[in-house]
Structure 1
Amino acid sequence: MPDNPHGSDTDPENLRAFIAAGLERARMRTHALTACDEEDLLKQHSPLMSPLVWDLAHVGSQEEIWLVRDVGKMEPLRCDLDQMYDAFQHPRSARPSLPLLSPVEARKYIAEVRTKALDILDRTPLEGSPLVDRGFAFGMIIQHEQQHDETMLATHQLRVGVPVLQARALPASVLPTGRDSFAKEVLVPAGPFIMGTSAEPWALDNERPAHEVDVPGYWIDTIPVTNGAYWSFIDDGGYRNPRWWTAQGWAHVREAGLVAPKYWERNGDRWIRTRFGVVELVPEDEPVQHVCWFEADAYARWAGRRLPTEAEWEKAARHDPRSGRSRRYPWGDEDPAPHHANLGGSALRPSPAGSYPGGASPLGVRQLIGDVWEWVSSDFRPYPGFNAFPYQEYSEVFFGPDYKVLRGGSWAVDPAACRGTFRNWDYPVRRQIFAGFRTARDASQTMVR
């Protein structure tokens, strides 16, 4: 891949090549995730998710609006599609009733949009207005398509039957050796750090601006909570004891009939799960995933701990106590490489807890990037000095107590849509997403478990 635009190389042609490669990587992934028969593309596999064919055309619609019309100032291809593929106009549960493009029509449409977008990339100065400076609009579209690719992976997990996806084995060099020895938790000393960013070229509005936050000292788990640790909570009656749950969480447990993470089933004295059509024993050493915020919060209470705040999570992931600066990633400023984190989606699962020592933070916290999104205790709120850009509906309409924050990305996230400042959010009841968590405690608190 060409040199990245975030480093010292600012040559515009290298930046164009980097953008073109990112667009192509996203599109190849989109095609791979929609390489199933027409019935599966048109079917709604869960009311929580759109039909796959809606996502397929939606990524093209957004690319047309922002790159073809806004950046390129070209005539619209399909104005008639704007409302149908506007995520705010139609809830996911209602999208199957729309007169959606067929798979053949959708593929033709997104190909036509892409041809025009690449022509625009070739002739657009990547400097000047905030929308095009350092390729922001192109980076926004790359991230948008990759986010929908992750959403389509969640849809595939909900499909009945065996999907067409094939898992890639994780390289042995990034896995725990059995001789790895690291502390259960690490102390993050009290003090200020710089949260958010004002310099990351493709950072989205909710990541901005950079600002100083003073954080009291705290302990944080070195690794995410594992399946094995979580089933101890289940076996101890965690889902039957309201003591560990908020009032809202306990009401949800009873209403939804929760007894374990999504896709888990009891088989005698063992837990099994269905993962992309494959039934298997739940691996004890993997980070737990497909738990909602209420489940993560209840486990933390049961363990005598708590979820970290968003500021605590980001300080653990970015703050270098030696230099005092905030890095782009736990390991430094360079873009993710295969030895840093489990990203990109091809593994179809988290890696064992303790993997990727090359991606550890300066304090030794592992797997902060990739593997599972991590729920934190914080509501989704704007940073001081927030400005909506390039449109209010990206972040601003979601701010408030209804949404909880997730950080760090999952195994299903592409590196383009994941960094130390990246913020995700969802309702606290959501479980179809690839989310887990780690726990924390105040520096003054005695460790209970």
Structure 2
Amino acid sequence: MTAPDEDKLREQALATLTTARDRTTLLTSCVEDPDLTAQHSPLMSPLVWDLAHIGNQEEQWLLRTVAGREAMRPEIDGLYDAFEHPRAERPSLPLLPPDEARRYAAEVRGRVMDVLESTAFHGTRLTEAGFAFGMIAQHEQQHDETMLITHQLRTGPQALTAPDPEPAPLFTGPAEVLVPGGPFTMGTSTEPWALDNERPAHRREVAPFYIDTTPVTNGAYQAFIEDGGYDDPRWWTPEGWAHIRKNSVFAPLFWRRDGKQWLRRRFGTTEAVPPDEPVLHVCWYEADAYARWAGRRLPTEAEWEKAARHDPAGDRSMRYPWGDADPGPERANLGQRHLRPAPAGSYPAGESPLGVRQLMGDVWEWTASDFLPYPGFQAFPYKEYSQVFFGPEYKVLRGGAFAVDAVACRGTFRNWDYPIRRQIFSGFRTARSGDV
């Protein structure tokens, strides 16, 4: 790696770390301390746990592992080990109080700035191209997204504000796009900050299929509800049907009916459900049931990635649907610039060569696939990031949401969760086989 390349990557690492910390500060300074220490849902940690966990992971990887420095607070490692304590138990732990957690995270970051200046971006796999710094920036942004979910779950007045996405004319383009069959390159072996489950690049054969041009909208999903979709077991897997009956699920999370109108709660405010936005806060079972009701299915993970990355003109896989350039506000709704999805059909500058829109940003999109390793997978730098989650218990989501920062979102990025999860910023689009 030449010096100019290394200098550019160092600037990129500094920028992404700074952006992540600015967002963490916003999410933890817009409410009072009681809101930081409270557990707003048993599904989520107290916000103050996330804050100190971010600092602890940064200390462990960048100060101790990369720089070889002595531990600052070794006695708290266990408190902020995500695998040692389930989220529901974390409020009972002797956590650092808010002011102390802030000071700890700030002190870690101050020392990391020195390490960033002095570390060579080559020599080891962890430091090659600044991977460790990129990994920590992605980790913080992932916890920022988690904290934003907690803000959505908390009750009380609105604490966060952001401008709405630009209004968009009603989308009148084709409802679906044909993705030609044939092989394509899935995953990556060259993206410097890609995480282990995105690797290695490998060829996949995909039969021709049609995929929705945009994510499924609230208006389309309401038609499923009004047609009795939640009352008809024909559309549900046995596990999904049992889940919605046991938990009295009858609409997306945070929705309620007011006469003939559907309302939703969004970050402390109540509003009419906008029909042209992508549907949000649905679990995999709901997405799968809607697709069956519509005579379609969820795309596989390989189909989704081919629709998002394949350039048929050059027979190559791109970094993003629009090409290799980094995301910008004209291409995708990312980075918490807004607190809602943009209307379906927005961001024509971000569409794929085949004309599929909003594959990046707005909502995470459920796929039909279980979370499994790619051929040749190797856990790095620790097996707890991906390897321990592989299996049929988790379904893959793709594409990122408005809550996702660009550093933690690319055409190869893989997210996963239980099929019952609805508090996440999840939506979907449907597909059908090309010979139908």
State TM-score, norm by structure 1.
0.96
Residue in structure 2 matched with residue 309 of structure 1 by the alignment: 300
2:76 to 81, 104, 111: 81
Q: Indicate how the Cα distance of structure 1 residues 58 and 123 shifts in structure 2: closer, same or farther if over 3 A, else same.
A: same
Matched residue type, 1:399: F
- How far has the Cα of 1:168 moved from its partner? 1.6
Residue in structure 1 matched with residue 402 of structure 2 by the alignment: 411
1:326 to 317, 321, 333: 317
Matches of 1:92 and 1:205, distance apart in 2: 25
Could you say what the CA RMSD is over the residues aligned between the two structures, in angstroms? 1.2
Structure 2 residue 45 is the aligned partner of structure 1 residue 50: yes
Structure 2 residue 248 is the aligned partner of structure 1 residue 257: yes
Matched residue type, 2:139: H
Structure 2 residue 86 is the aligned partner of structure 1 residue 94: no
Matches of 2:356 and 2:393, distance apart in 1: 29
Residue in structure 2 matched with residue 348 of structure 1 by the alignment: 339
Matches of 2:183 and 2:5, distance apart in 1: 35
- Conserved in 1, the CA contact under 8 Å of 2:158 and 2:269? no
Report matched runs for 1:27-426 at 5 Å.
27-35=21-29, 36-171=31-166, 175-178=167-170, 181-426=172-417
- How far has the Cα of 1:21 moved from its partner? 1.2
Matches of 1:120 and 1:157, distance apart in 2: 36
Matches of 2:319 and 2:95, distance apart in 1: 40
Matches of 1:76 and 1:438, distance apart in 2: 46
Secondary structure of the residue aligned to 2:367 is strand
Secondary structure of the residue aligned to 2:173 is coil
Identity %: 65
Runs of 4+ in 1 over 6 A off after TM superposition: none
Matched residue type, 2:103: K
- How far has the Cα of 1:302 moved from its partner? 0.2
- How far has the Cα of 1:10 moved from its partner? 5.0
Give unpaired runs (5+ residues) of structure 1.
none
- Conserved in 2, the CA contact under 8 Å of 1:166 and 1:346? no
- How far has the Cα of 1:86 moved from its partner? 0.4
- How far has the Cα of 1:346 moved from its partner? 2.7
Secondary structure of the residue aligned to 2:384 is helix
Matched residue type, 1:126: F
- How far has the Cα of 1:443 moved from its partner? 0.6
Matches of 1:201 and 1:112, distance apart in 2: 28
Give unpaired runs (5+ residues) of structure 2.
none
- How far has the Cα of 1:150 moved from its partner? 0.4
Matches of 1:97 and 1:288, distance apart in 2: 35
- Conserved in 2, the CA contact under 8 Å of 1:64 and 1:113? yes
- How far has the Cα of 1:177 moved from its partner? 2.9
Matches of 1:140 and 1:236, distance apart in 2: 45
State TM-score, norm by structure 2.
0.98
- Conserved in 2, the CA contact under 8 Å of 1:318 and 1:420? yes
1:22 to 16, 30, 48: 16
Matches of 1:72 and 1:116, distance apart in 2: 10
Matches of 1:311 and 1:46, distance apart in 2: 34
Secondary structure of the residue aligned to 2:317 is coil
Q: Write the deviation string for residues 101-147 of structure 1: whole angstroms up to 9, x where unpaired.
A: 00000000001100111100100000121100000000000000000
- How far has the Cα of 1:9 moved from its partner? 9.7
Q: Write the deviation string for residues 247-306 of structure 1: whole angstroms up to 9, x where unpaired.
A: 000000111100000000000001000100111000000000100000000000000000
- How far has the Cα of 1:17 moved from its partner? 1.6
Residue in structure 2 matched with residue 441 of structure 1 by the alignment: 432
